Chain A
């Protein structure tokens, strides 16, 4: 019962944050000079034309009414049309690009989880020995090194020096698509890999100190079985939470990687739209990114009590 209430609170808070984001993105249009009417009418339009267009679009009404309309349209995925290019409907434009972001974020989180859990376990098994120190040292770099520093380093060696991978995404691709995604995925995966390694190590070290591990050793459980079945299974829970939140950060934090490798994704679309002042696209991208993050975090909150009975009971 308490659990249900806690989840309901989380859900309401999530909705509230989403409303907050929608309000701020709505403000973007209010604060920036010019509005949809001035842009759509073009540069040569007279003041009367703009005024008439404004009347038609309903831009003369007071802002609370327009805000409500903005939200009700946004819920249905209608953000108007892009100011530039072929004036494509924004929903369509964003929908086309979001697949790329989801693809690279999913690949990156899979890669990061596999490597992170593996290395973290190894480090915990060889606690304070050279392999552990080596792994910790490398993961320190992984946490600290910015994406846009790692990307050029990798791109320089793999694309320019050795010429085994393409430098950036392009319209006329000569190799299969996934070739173009290898470097972006690796760059994107670096930080979560390092974080998950450190977290797995810390959690495993903690678990290996517990008494049931000593019991397992005493009754002669073979080491591999002891580490994997007894220790890792108990240590994995915080790691799963972190995988969930990291996935959220990846889905909403691929701005740099997408911009660097020129991938047509949600992040690069957002940045492009901000630079051009294409407000409807900015609004749609930001709302969608925010919604993805909030929903994903809600999902993590939901799945945790299912995985761990201790949380189910202690949840307030």
Chain B
């Protein structure tokens, strides 16, 4: 999933705007729920602590649970009188937590497997890469659903399932990079000087590919966040009352006949995040790879 733009200036622009959006999203995820909490009325604070955080300061006698945008709740409330902004912020938290943990685990596993897939003895190397290829070919969402059906529902199983689907592509990328870099003259020279494989990989090879890996994992992060939202939308990911963008879209869909506006916000947040991550990843790749920059 990559957005190609041949124009380097456009790429840099995409990188800047994408990065700016991501910084805002991060701040929103960290501070959004807090602001909401501070604004709660005393009445709301007395309510069950589990749902209190998401409840807006509202007119309790109003018959419709949906408050329009622009009142005490900036974007209005949903069918259970919960503040949309607060839920979006919590959802951002969930998406980023899941996304970043998955990428971290996938990078660790992927780098290890990728390096072993090139440098380990043949009887380890071949089955390992075959296994990686097999996992890579399998559709991510199907594998994730398979794992969730075994591991159960909730945030932990989602992180586990998505990590299992995310590492093979990173392992393949690392393997292809290591395979070309290990024959470079400076690596061969270091080897001739008596450097161990571990030293070669950590000092000479991995530093060379951090840029590409970072760019790649940004684009992959978009896929992870999308997959998390998909699982939550299907009701087999993050479970209510914990808000998530996918869960919000699912909830809003059920009230589509009476109140379709609610669909806009989580859909917009999710789409914008995915676009921003793609732009940033693409921009970073252009920076990391000089050949791409000149092309």
What residues on B are CB-neighbors of A252 within 8 Å?
A: 139, 142
Determine if B271 and A145 form an interchain contact, defined as CB atoms under 8 angstroms apart.
yes
How many CB-defined contacts (below 8 Å) exist between A and B?
A: 109
Show 26 residue pairs from A and B whose CB-CB distance is below 8 angstroms, ordered by the A residue. Answer: A24-B150, A136-B4, A140-B3, A144-B222, A144-B278, A146-B226, A148-B233, A148-B246, A149-B249, A152-B253, A152-B267, A160-B256, A160-B257, A249-B139, A252-B142, A253-B141, A255-B141, A256-B230, A270-B149, A274-B145, A274-B148, A275-B153, A286-B146, A290-B138, A290-B142, A290-B146
Among residues 253 to 274 in chain A, which have CB atoms less than 8 Å away from a CB atom of chain B?
253, 255-256, 259-260, 270-271, 274
Question: Is B119 part of the contact surface with A, judged by Cβ < 8 Å?
Answer: no
Question: Is B156 part of the contact surface with A, judged by Cβ < 8 Å?
Answer: no
Determine if B130 and A282 form an interchain contact, defined as CB atoms under 8 angstroms apart.
no
Determine if A297 and B142 form an interchain contact, defined as CB atoms under 8 angstroms apart.
no
Question: Is A155 part of the contact surface with B, judged by Cβ < 8 Å?
Answer: yes
Closest chain A CB from B229 CB (angstroms): 7
Determine if B249 and A271 form an interchain contact, defined as CB atoms under 8 angstroms apart.
no
Do A17 and B233 contact each other (CB < 8 Å), given the known contacts A144-B1, A152-B249?
no
Do A248 and B139 contact each other (CB < 8 Å), given the known contacts A152-B253, A152-B256?
yes
Partner of A271, one of B1, B138, B235, B263: B235
Among residues 81 to 129 in chain B, which have CB atoms less than 8 Å away from a CB atom of chain A?
none
What residues on A are CB-neighbors of B256 within 8 Å?
A: 152, 155-156, 160, 167
What residues on A are CB-neighbors of B236 within 8 Å?
A: 271, 274-275
Among residues 93 to 116 in chain A, which have CB atoms less than 8 Å away from a CB atom of chain B?
none
Q: Which residue of A lies closest to B133 (CB)?
A: A13
What residues on A are CB-neighbors of B149 within 8 Å?
A: 25, 28, 270, 274, 282, 286
Determine if A146 and B270 form an interchain contact, defined as CB atoms under 8 angstroms apart.
yes
Closest chain B CB from A142 CB (angstroms): 11
A253 to B274, CA, bound (A): 19
Secondary structure call for the B interface: helix
A248 to B141, CA, bound (A): 12
Determine if A13 and B142 form an interchain contact, defined as CB atoms under 8 angstroms apart.
no
Partner of A270, one of B145, B230, B274: B145
Contacts A143-B1, A144-B271, A275-B235 supplied; 8 other A-B pairs, CB < 8 Å: A32-B152, A149-B267, A152-B263, A253-B139, A260-B253, A270-B149, A286-B142, A286-B149
What residues on A are CB-neighbors of B146 within 8 Å?
A: 21, 24-25, 286, 290
Give how many B residues have a beta carbon under 8 Å from the other chain's beta carbons: 42
Partner of A148, one of B148, B150, B249: B249
Query: Footprint of A on B, CB under 8 Å?
Result: 1, 3-4, 130, 134, 137-139, 141-142, 145-153, 222, 226, 229-230, 233-236, 246, 249-250, 252-253, 256-257, 260, 263, 267, 270-271, 274-275, 278
What residues on B are CB-neighbors of A148 within 8 Å?
A: 229-230, 233, 246, 249-250
Determine if A293 and B139 form an interchain contact, defined as CB atoms under 8 angstroms apart.
yes
What residues on A are CB-neighbors of B4 within 8 Å?
A: 136
Closest chain A CB from B238 CB (angstroms): 14
Determine if A256 and B263 form an interchain contact, defined as CB atoms under 8 angstroms apart.
no
3 smallest CB-CB distances across A and B, nearest first, come from A28-B150, A149-B267, A152-B263
